[in-house]
């Protein structure tokens, strides 16, 4: 298994897709129910294989990943050969970026001495999807990249 098995809720949400996956292997509902009752190792293999297919499809499309905690934002943009990072750290321990009040404070003070910005780029260490998955497992969320793009423009302008 390359990633991790989907949760029960994720499988339930993808019920039709999983049914189609089983059908491509010649497994109908009756046979699937029988396998679940008698062949747990084959069932596990099929669940893992489907999970990997789903994760690969999702991760292949993921271009931006964000990890936001109380005092930092790690914003990632995923390219073919590398991942770029914009790291934003807040030096005010009373601020929590995860709530609306803290984020409002941040929007007013994004250019103050309380805020530190760093940029980095790194080639993928495993596989592109493996590195993306690791970021998600550490609390990252796939996004459309609005924050990353905004900060990239801001930092590029301030460098001029």
3-state secondary structure the chain: CCCCCCCHHHHHHCHHHHHHHHHHCCCCHHHHHHHHHHCHHHHHHHHHHHHHHHHHHHHHHCCEEEEECCCEEEEEEECCCEEEEEEEEECCCCCCCCCHHHHHHHHHHCCCCCEEEEEEEEECCCCHHHHHHHHHHCCCEEECCHHHHHHHHHHHHHHC
Q: How confident is the model at residue 155 (pLDDT cuts 50, 70, 90)?
A: confident
- Residue 52: pLDDT over 90: yes
What are the pLDDT digits (tens) for 67-101?
999 999 999 999 999 999 999 999 988 899 999 99
pLDDT (average), residues 36-63: 94
What are the pLDDT digits (tens) for 108-137?
998 889 999 999 999 999 799 999 999 999
Q: Which backbone phi and psi does 83 adopt, to 5 degrees?
A: -115, 135
Residue whose structure tokens are 């005092």: 71
pLDDT at 160: 52
pLDDT at 78: 97
pLDDT at 159: 59
pLDDT (average), residues 48-74: 96
- Residue 27: pLDDT over 70: yes
Task: Report the Cα–Cα distance between both ends of the chain, in Å, rounded.
Answer: 47
145: number of Cβ within 10 Å: 17
Residue whose structure tokens are 């949400």: 13
Q: Is 85 left (phi over 0), alpha (psi -120 to 50) or beta?
A: beta
- Residue 40: pLDDT over 90: no
Could you tell me what percent of the chain has a pLDDT over 70?
Answer: 98
pLDDT at 107: 87
**Average pLDDT, rounded, for the chain:** 93
CA pair distance 67, 24, nearest whole angstrom: 37
pLDDT at 158: 62
């Amino acid at each position: 298994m390359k990633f991790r098995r989907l949760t029960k809720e994720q499988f339930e949400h993808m019920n039709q897709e999983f049914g189609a996956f089983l059908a491509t292997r010649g497994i109908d509902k009756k046979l699937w129910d029988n396998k679940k009752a008698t062949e747990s190792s084959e069932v596990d293999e099929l669940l893992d294989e489907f999970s990997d297919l789903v994760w690969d499809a999702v991760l292949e499309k993921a271009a931006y990943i964000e990890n936001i905690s109380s005092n930092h934002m790690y914003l990632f943009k995923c390219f073919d050969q590398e991942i770029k990072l914009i790291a934003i750290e807040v030096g005010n321990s009373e601020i929590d970026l995860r709530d609306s009040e803290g984020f409002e404070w941040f929007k007013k003070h994004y250019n103050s001495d309380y805020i530190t910005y760093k940029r980095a780029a790194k080639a993928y260490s495993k596989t592109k999807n493996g590195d993306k998955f690791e970021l998600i497992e550490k609390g990252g969320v796939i996004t459309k990249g609005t924050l990353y793009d905004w900060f990239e423009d801001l930092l590029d302008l301030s460098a001029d």
